[in-house]
Amino acid sequence: MVVSSTATHNELDRLFRALADRTRRDIVARALAGEEVSVSTLAARYRMSFAAVQKHVAVLERAKLVSKFAVGRERIVRGEPERLARARAALVQLEALWLDRFKQLDAVLLTSPTAKGE
Amino acid sequence: MPITSVTSDPQSLSLIVIGEYPVPVERLWEAYKDPRQLERFWGPEGWPARFTRHDFTVGGQSHYTMTGPDGAQSSGWWRFLAIEPPRLIEIEDGFAAPDGSPNTSMPTMRMTFTFEPVGTGSRFRGVTRFQSLDSMEQLVKMGMVEGLRSAMGQLDAVLADL
């Protein structure tokens, strides 16, 4: 591909594998919203074993979507919002394109009032 | 400015734009159906599009080329996945060689346009969905707005290699 480097592609692969699971998406959404939560709390919330949640969190960590830090004996999961910031930046550009389109369509609707219909 | 809402969801990689126009649904539909009207608003500002093909039928294709202020060009194609007049249009959109043939090494995106009558005219809803962040970034960089301008050199190289 032209735009992204190979390293970036590997990163993106990890990112998308990480987001391909509903539980992981929920963990990410909450973490990015600022919630800092322990792995044991997540295990209770999703009715999963501690080990199963650990695995999910590890996948998210490899994708750099979340990070973990220790508070006493607890492992706390925290969001890493920079990753999704890239997606957001791309969407902002697309939004600008649609703003252009809507503005231009206004002019079309004003100057070509002859509707032929379907 | 008739846009009433823009919702972008970085997690599902989709963008929803909603706008209202003081014209009947059929009039809005016509602007998308008629290539001469469509090309007047499809390209980014400063990048007018020219539709050289517009088979407005399910399975049909459209070809278009956008030309920038410095003469640089970017071509794209559509494939119509669904057409339900005057309510819904669903298309796949991708990059094309200057002759209109799809560039299969580039990602595509899916767009769904819906039109519905409201009290004052009609409401347009456009949903754009990308296959991945990778494809979204490429499409946005290479096909759109500022990204189009800054990626022009790269795009020229791609087109030259086809």
- Rounded CA-CA distance A110/A113 in Å is 6
Fold of domain A6-80: Arc Repressor Mutant, subunit A (1.10.10)
Average pLDDT, consecutive stretches of 10 residues, N- to C-terminus, chain B (162 residues) = 71 85 89 91 85 96 88 89 97 88 87 93 91 79 45 30 30
The reported pLDDT for the residue numbered B114 is: 96
Q: Please name the residues between 94 and 133 in chain B that touch chain A, using a CB distance below 8 Å.
A: 105, 126, 128, 132-133
Write down the pLDDT at residue B146: 37
Q: Provide the pLDDT for residue A13.
A: 63
Q: What are the angstrom distances between the C-alpha of B117 and each of B25, B26, B83? A: 6, 9, 17
Q: What is the mean pLDDT of residues A38-60?
A: 93
Residues B84-96 as b or e (16 or more Cβ within 10 Å = b): eebeebbbebbbb
3-state secondary structure of A117: coil
Does B57 reach chain A within 8 Å, measured CB to CB? Answer: no
A114 pLDDT above the threshold of 90: no
Q: Which residues of B touch A109 (CB under 8 A)?
A: 21, 23, 27-28, 31
- Quick one: angle between helices A6-19 and A50-62, nearest 10? 150
Q: What pTM, to 2 d.p., does this model score?
A: 0.63
Return the pLDDT at B46.
79
Whether residue B28 and residue A84 make contact (CB cut-off 8 A), yes or no, is: no
Interchain contact A97–B (C-beta under 8 A)? yes
Does residue B154 belong to the interface with chain A, where contact is any CB pair within 8 Å? yes
Residue extents of the structural domains in chain A: 6-80
Q: pLDDT higher for B51 or A12? A: B51
Chain A CB contacts of B89 under 8 Å are none
* Residue B20: CATH number of its domain: 3.30.530.20
CA distance A41 to B46: 53
Least Cα separation, residue B106 to chain A (angstroms): 8
B138 touches chain A (CB under 8 A): yes
Tell me the residue range of the domain where B143 lies: 3-161
- Please check the confidence at residue A105 and state whether its pLDDT lies above 60: yes
Cross-chain residue pair A100–B44, CB shorter than 8 Å: yes
Partners of residue B142 in chain A, C-beta under 8 Å: 2-3
ipTM at complex level: 0.75
How many structural domains comprise chain B?
A: 1
Chains A, B: CB pairs < 8 Å: 135
* pLDDT tens sequence across A30-47: 887 778 889 999 999 999
